[in-house]
Structure 1
Amino acid sequence: MIWSSHSWRTLLSVALLSHLATALPAVEHATSAAANICNGRSEYCSRPYSEVTFVGSHDSAFVGELPQQNQNIDVTAQLNMGIRFLQAQTHHSLIDKNVLELCHTSCLLEDAGTLESYLRTIKTFLDANANEVVTLLLTNGDSVDITEFNEAFASSGIDRYAFVPSSNPLPLESWPTLGQMISQGTRLVVFLDYGANTAKVNYILDEFAYYFETPYDVTDSSFSGCSIDRPSGASPSGRMYIVNHFLDVDIFGVKVPDRTAASSTNAATGKGSIGAQAAVCQSLYNRTPNVVLLDFVDKGSAIQAQNALNGV
């Protein structure tokens, strides 16, 4: 039999359609299976973002053994151990005022590199881990215009993952579930403490429109309080909340992270633990914290405490 070119095209089309019909269910099954795990737990997929407790890394970029450094392991290692909320301080570079650096109070004291480099590190993690939602809280110590932050996010490429709320501020009951955020590809939530302007940059959200915070620079190892520190005079109603559960020690009038107490401070239970302070907070606000910020996240039982607070 002699096959015409039309016959060959018909045969190839039938074969291609047959292959797609066989392959599509497998692809659909793979997508469905992936959506069953969110931030490492199946239980989180159906839970709204505003009803999840995250243990977070306070001053996540300042890594080392010096007094002003708050973490022992770098950001990639923090993400790999399960931390999904990262806080960092930003300031203008002393060398180039067009560049944002991660600096502790002053770039003369501690400079952990550019914001863009930091964001690229987080993007690398998001690229490789499609079922993870990460939150970033930045401080704006130099009152930098929001467009400069946008430039760093765009240059790093991480803005493609940014979550944009349907209204602003988004009511607590209107947050999507982690599963929805993952399926929509909006897996990075960004907050800025001062200077946010969603009319200019719609994905960098005003921290204090969404959260209140407990006091920081705490030197009481029992962490017996959970009062509202910022924003001043705020009502807890309608806001998520951040518990600053990192212990400082006062050395000649200067407060520095208490590295030696980290294992007990970051314990899941016991006096002065994550669980103990969270219980105090829950008794005041009738809900668990949304974020518990820690120094030295690799010490103690941060992820165990997170699981307990989420009831998983």
Structure 2
Amino acid sequence: MGTGTGRTRAARLAAWVLAVLSLAVVIATATARSTVLDAGFYRSVLDDQHAYPRLYDQVLVDPRVSPVTRDLLGRLPVPEAAVTSNLKTVLPPETLRALTNEQIGHLVAHLRGDEDPLRLSVDVRPLAANLGDLSQIYFGDLVGSLQETPEPDFAAFRAGLVQAVTRLTAGQAPVRLPSLSLTAQQVSAAADTLLRAVPESGRPALRPDVEAALADGDVAGALAAVGPAVFSDRTRAAAADLRKVADGGTWNITADLGAGSVGALDQARAGTRLALGVVEPLALLVALASLAVLWFTAPPNVPGRLRQLGWALGAGGLTAAVLALVLGLMTGRKVLDTPSSWPESVARLVDDVQTAAFDRMLTAALTTALVPLLAGALLVALARLMERRPDPFATRRAQAVPALGATALALAGVALVPLAFTGQDARVCQGSTRLCDLPYDELAQLTSHNAMSTTADRFIGPLQDPGITGQLDDGVRALQIDTYHWERPDQVAERLKESDIPPEAQKFVLDAVNRFNPAREGWWLCHSVCRAGALELVSTLRELGDWLHAHPTEVVTLIVQDDISGTDTAHAVEQAGLTDLLFIPDEDPHHPWPTVGDMIDDGHRLVVFAERADGPAPWYRNFYRYGMETPFAFRSAQEMTCAPHRGGTDKRLFLLNHFITIDGGSRLDAGQVNRRQDVLDRVHACERERGRPVNFVAVDYTTIGDAGGAVNALNTERAHDR
């Protein structure tokens, strides 16, 4: 009898130990499955720590990181400041996020055994293409803040051009820009002077842009067009440097990791496959078997059996919790000790990310361990209740159900609770995880004034450089466009008188009215006069729709200076296939707007306003019913005010006209007023005066200066204040 009792006790003790250990193992593997072996976990941690904004704002601008930054950008022939201030042009945040998420996905799939061999690669061709954009922005900025110097004659003007282009060739800013009203013959001769610095093969393509800028009196624009071409060979070499790590345009990261790193990853993969494929299911079976042995070898009374199960479940949960805490103490909540040689900005970011990841994993483990601990405590408490009040538990079913229920709850909880810590991909709105909860009427949007009037589309007197898609890619989220029917010859002179096209350009247009560019049917995007440059409305709207469908987390606004009817506009939008994207504002202009995230979730991400019309389509509202603006006919930065203009005051939307108009737009003025601090200072001043946040910061030449950086700063302030 004594021998049998001893064996029973030994079996019960062994079962109890196995139950405790196997439960701890199941908790550990379930936690690992939902954290370190889940791609969303890493993405969520990166977003929680604002890793991407910090990379741009802290790491890549750190002087100690600049050598690496220079190598990354292919040793561009531009000053260090231009590289660091335009990093987002070469490596846009959305691109960086997508690249990182892709590599995380491949790495986790490899560790889980779903992908073999490890394939980490990056397509560097888009980055190489962006190098040319950086050159364009740099040279536009280089001449954008200079002052013009009137010259007495064409010879002096030409000499000034030679001096300016010579300094550009050396990568330096010109000392001054010559200014002179040119005849058509002089325009051609001056263009010859500038184009001599360009490789011969590139001159024909550039000549129209250069001549148009010179005819417009825009010497800065002509130099900005020539500048990147002067460095075309060096820019191509810079792109080639970036592609040296690539084979056919793809950087094979796996090959560059080296045999040691890949071998370590393969060892980790073997361990995770063993843990998930063998250890976890085996531990679960052992736990079930051990708990069954405890039930049948416990004292014959039901309270005793419940107590045995309760203590085993509780001990298993407690063991897992203690092991997790010990691991945290031993590692200092870090996997990697950042070397002292690392720049502080890099070390801080890495430490913050790995500490946050470890804390999240520790929280998942402790929360999961709490489930069997609570189930065990429940069973022990139930055993005491049975001993005090046995009558309600007289039947076998009433005795067995609590035990089975608590055990099933504990094991199911261990499997399911870690899923609550599975990292979900953070919601991104307007390129940021922090703007989804921001109402539309609190969102700041970089707005391109006369967005259709571009050098890329060969407008006379352009006010932007890239085309519509290029502006959107550069961060513009509101487009001011002008819709027209093609004018008759007798209407041209009248429109020109009322336009802000420079007098010299007006003369050029009038001379060309009947000889070139005959009238065309349909709807057009023009700047005052379609013969000075025009884009077909429907095809441009289709281009906008393509961009929106390719960027499903972005909201875009159109503010239309409408010379065609609301009905015509509605037909154009319908023909362009944009109806599914249109947002319908509330009929009451004072009604609160939805959040950016709600608009994105609903799929209605295109807001369209008119300056004159109000309908008939419900999505086509008059802007000045909903919004107010500042004046726009400023002739100098000192004249800029916050005075009420169209729309009056006390409207929910606020348009800040932040550009200089002196016979047309000017790169020189844009270089001054588009500076980040200048934009922020005026925005804050006007917000204090009007009592509403500025929503649309409308500027000429969005690629000159840093108006986009100012808008990003405004949105960061507003998201932080909510």
Match of 1:126 in 2: 548
Tell me which protein shows more helix as a share of its residues.
2
Match of 2:645 in 1: 229
Following superposition, which runs of at least 4 residues in structure 1 exceed 6 angstroms of deviation? Answer: none
Of 175, 182, 188, the match for 2:600: 182
Deviation sequence 1:130-168 (CA, Å, 0-9, x none): 100000111113xx3211101100011012100012x31
Match of 2:433 in 1: 42
Q: How far does residue 86 in structure 1 lie from its aligned partner after superposition?
A: 0.6
CA contact (8 A) 2:441 2:652 kept: no
Mark the CA change 1:256 to 1:124 in structure 2 (over 3 Å): closer, same or farther: same
CA distance in 2, matches of 1:121, 1:134: 13
Tell me which protein shows more strand as a share of its residues.
1
Of 138, 141, 145, the match for 2:565: 145
Q: How far does residue 247 in structure 1 lie from its aligned partner after superposition?
A: 1.3
What letter matches 2:540 in structure 1?
Y
Match of 1:268 in 2: 676
Match of 1:68 in 2: 461
Q: What's the C-alpha RMSD, in Å, of the aligned pairs?
A: 2.0
User: SS at 2:547's partner residue?
Assistant: helix
What letter matches 2:562 in structure 1?
N
Q: How far does residue 42 in structure 1 lie from its aligned partner after superposition?
A: 1.2
Q: How does 1:238-249 map to 2 (within 5 A)?
A: 238-249=651-662
Mark the CA change 1:183 to 1:223 in structure 2 (over 3 Å): closer, same or farther: farther
CA distance in 2, matches of 1:223, 1:289: 19
Are residue 289 (structure 1) and residue 289 (structure 2) matched?
no
User: SS at 1:280's partner residue?
Assistant: helix
CA contact (8 A) 2:561 2:611 kept: yes
Q: How does 1:1-312 map to 2 (within 5 A)?
A: 33=425, 36-64=427-455, 68-94=461-487, 95-97=519-521, 99-111=522-534, 113-141=535-563, 144-165=564-585, 167-172=586-591, 174-197=592-615, 200-231=616-647, 234=648, 236-249=649-662, 255-269=663-677, 273-312=678-717
CA distance in 1, matches of 2:581, 2:644: 31
CA distance in 1, matches of 2:560, 2:712: 25
CA contact (8 A) 2:609 2:621 kept: yes
Q: How far does residue 223 in structure 1 lie from its aligned partner after superposition?
A: 5.0
CA distance in 1, matches of 2:644, 2:460: 27
Deviation sequence 1:211-260 (CA, Å, 0-9, x none): 111111211223541111113xx2x22331101101122xxxxx210212
CA contact (8 A) 2:610 2:620 kept: yes
Q: How far does residue 277 in structure 1 lie from its aligned partner after superposition?
A: 1.5
TM-score calculated relative to the size of structure 1: 0.79
CA contact (8 A) 2:667 2:704 kept: no
Most deviating of 65-74 and 150-159: 65-74
Deviation sequence 1:62-115 (CA, Å, 0-9, x none): 101766210011111111111111110111124355x2101111213332x111
Give ranges in structure 2 of 5+ residues lacking alignment: 1-418, 488-518, 718-722
What letter matches 2:580 in structure 1?
R
CA contact (8 A) 1:56 1:83 kept: yes
Deviation sequence 1:261-309 (CA, Å, 0-9, x none): 322211111xxx2112112202201233111101000111122100122
User: SS at 1:151's partner residue?
Assistant: helix
CA distance in 2, matches of 1:203, 1:163: 6
Mark the CA change 1:223 to 1:180 in structure 2 (over 3 Å): closer, same or farther: farther
CA distance in 2, matches of 1:68, 1:267: 22
What letter matches 2:679 in structure 1?
I
Give ranges in structure 1 of 5+ residues lacking alignment: 1-25, 250-254
CA contact (8 A) 1:209 1:239 kept: no
Give the total of aligned pairs. Answer: 264
CA distance in 2, matches of 1:210, 1:87: 16
What letter matches 2:660 in structure 1?
L
Question: Percentage identity across aligned positions?
Answer: 29
CA contact (8 A) 2:676 2:709 kept: yes
CA contact (8 A) 1:52 1:310 kept: yes
Mark the CA change 1:214 to 1:238 in structure 2 (over 3 Å): closer, same or farther: closer
CA contact (8 A) 1:223 1:245 kept: no
CA distance in 2, matches of 1:256, 1:62: 11
Match of 1:8 in 2: none
CA contact (8 A) 2:634 2:640 kept: no
Q: How far does residue 171 in structure 1 lie from its aligned partner after superposition?
A: 2.3
CA distance in 2, matches of 1:67, 1:148: 26
